[in-house]
Amino acid sequence: MIKNRGRFKRLVTLALGAILLPLAGCAGNYGMINQADTVTRMFNEGNLPDDYTYYFTGRPSIPYAIIGLKPGYVQVSKMWFRVDQRDPRFVKMVHNLWESQGELGVLYQPQGAWIRTASGETAGIWYSYYPSAPVEDRGDGRLTIHSPYLPTRWN
């Protein structure tokens, strides 16, 4: 028999809260990034949709990733910067998007992908040497695509 039933209930409630609260944060509407050779070719050949809005994250000289979003979708993360695909710097960004691995001279070639919403709709295109990043679907065409950069990814 438990003598102090009220205290026991509070402890159980706190323990369950400590377990379930972090999991509740994972229950958001997340989309995904699906690798696609078609998108890689689009970037490599410079055959990109004119009506997409383009963004990059990282340095303009060597970005971590470039995305293009269809009309009706907008990137709301402050980690991405809008760029005009007709700007000559955009072409340099696409060509400079690679990761050198020091003395070995190994290059990680960028790959293209489709950006999908939580419901599976195609919202845009992705190009990076990083394979993916979290895509939060905030509804009404608003997406938060996190920067794929992780300082220790290759270490």
The pLDDT tens digits of the residues spanning 32-52 come to 999 999 999 999 999 999 999
CA 83 to chain CA centroid, Å, is 17
Looking only at the bridges linking them, the beta strands covering 142-145 and 135-137 are antiparallel
pLDDT score of 130 more than 90:
no
Closest-CA residue to 98 (of 120, 72, 123, 130): 130
pLDDT at 23: 43
Choose between 152 and 104: higher pLDDT. Answer: 152
pLDDT score of 116 more than 90:
yes
Q: Alpha-carbon Rg of the chain, whole angstroms?
A: 21
Question: Could you tell me the two tokens for 114?
Answer: 């489709």
pLDDT at 129: 85
Choose between 151 and 120: higher pLDDT. Answer: 120
pLDDT at 20: 42
Closest-CA residue to 57 (of 75, 44, 31): 75
pLDDT score of 11 more than 60:
no
Query: What single-letter amino acid sits at 100?
Result: S
pLDDT in tens, 69-79: 999 999 998 88
pLDDT score of 106 more than 60:
no
pLDDT at 96: 84
Long-range contacts of 41-46 (CB under 8 A, 24+ apart): 41/112, 42/112, 42/125, 43/94, 43/110, 43/112, 43/125, 43/127, 46/91, 46/94
CA 134 to chain CA centroid, Å, is 5
